[in-house]
Structure 1
Amino acid sequence: MTNTHQLLQQVAVARRNYLTSLAGMDESQAQWKPAPDAWNAVEITEHLFWAEQGGILGMWKTLLSIRAGTVSFEGASPNGGLPVEDIIRRTWQEKEIVPPVAAPRMGGPLGFWASALAGLQSTLEAFGELLTDEDLLIQAHPHPISGPMTFGQRLEFLRFHIDRHRGQVERLNDSFAESISVLR
């Protein structure tokens, strides 16, 4: 079984890879959309910040409440024992609607959101200091789309989610380059 330290390291690597995919983007490229209903790199990065911030806060509050005996999410879970990729496959639609709390809504420069997202690693590691390897098997608060997950699955989800959006940013980067070459 993967331990807490390994899961935190996997998130750190995913975060570094994501931020590297943004490196070299100027603001016009970061704001560019291939279609009106598509997100640009700024919106994707802002979304990742809100989603992860909420996820970490939710896990932290839940862990402390479980330890205080004021909350419990134990019971049968349709996601019990599944890797996060299987959970996503079972619970997400092709184009998922983002929960409002995690939706991009402020805009602004890419550098701001990239910096804010990078800063969440230290917050996640501070939470990880409280989390034992045994806690990884305890159910955390439910994910708004995927439902019940353990703390371990929630950490796996953070890595998965960052990697998923890194792929989107890389495709945006490629589409932007293609659109520029067509104009030349």
Structure 2
Amino acid sequence: MKGDAPALLQALDDRRRALLASLETLDPGTLQARPAPGAWSILEIVEHLVVAEQVILQGLPDPAALVDRPRSLRQRCTYPLVLLVLRLGIPVKVPSRRMLPTGTVPLAELRDRWDATHRWLRAYAEGLPPGGAGRAVFSHPVCGPITLSQALRMDRLHLEIHARQIKERRPA
């Protein structure tokens, strides 16, 4: 891995593991409790984080199947705006229906799926040829094509927003 990708990936994975570890002591009722009608439970938030990564990473295909996608000026400008929205914690609708949680997946299965996603992501990043990290091979529903580093930065901010929501839902 070249550039900032190793540090970004490690920071994301460390934060993800810490979040999951903090949830293991919670009982199923707490994990499934909704703070208000229509609001997501802790379990649904975790499921959203898992499926959102899988959507952005295009379902974890064979890395050879990923192609560099051209980016328009509009798409290049949208990425910093999405990062700003994430940094400021501005509530927005889920950009793709595929990122919505079902609320039916147990925490252990979500952990397994999330671990598999990160194993794929690490293997993809480690297998990149020189200059490969700059290829826009991932696709965000709002930003369009994004690079590995962009995906990791966005993912970390997304995780932090939802980690705060989870913290608010945990019992005192």
TM-score, structure 1 normalization = 0.74
Counterpart selection for 1:120 from 117, 140, 144: 117
In structure 2, how many angstroms separate the alpha carbons of the residues matched to 1:139 and 1:79? 14
SS in 2 for 1:57: coil
Q: Are residue 108 (structure 1) and residue 105 (structure 2) matched? A: yes
Seen in structure 2, the aligned counterparts of structure 1 residues 140 and 84 have a Cα distance that, compared at 3 Å, is farther
1:13-52 deviation digits (Å, cap 9, x = unpaired): 1211221231311101000111011100111111111111
Q: Are residue 38 (structure 1) and residue 39 (structure 2) matched? A: yes
Q: Are residue 78 (structure 1) and residue 77 (structure 2) matched? A: yes
In structure 1, how many angstroms separate the alpha carbons of the residues matched to 2:32 and 2:77? 39
In structure 2, how many angstroms separate the alpha carbons of the residues matched to 1:108 and 1:60? 22
Whichever residue aligns with residue 7 of structure 1, its letter is L
Counterpart selection for 2:142 from 128, 134, 145: 145
In structure 2, how many angstroms separate the alpha carbons of the residues matched to 1:125 and 1:96? 29
Structure 2 residue runs of 5 or longer lacking an equivalent are: none
1:97-147 deviation digits (Å, cap 9, x = unpaired): 351111112513222223322332212111112335623333234311334
Q: Are residue 28 (structure 1) and residue 29 (structure 2) matched? A: yes
Conserved? CA contact 1:78–1:148, under 8 Å: no
Which residue in 2 is equivalent to 1:18?
Answer: 19
Seen in structure 2, the aligned counterparts of structure 1 residues 62 and 72 have a Cα distance that, compared at 3 Å, is farther
Which structure: greater helix fraction? 1
SS in 2 for 1:165: helix
Shift of 1:84: 6.7
Whichever residue aligns with residue 128 of structure 2, its letter is L
Structure 1 residue runs of 5 or longer lacking an equivalent are: 178-184
Q: How many residues align?
A: 169
Seen in structure 2, the aligned counterparts of structure 1 residues 65 and 114 have a Cα distance that, compared at 3 Å, is closer
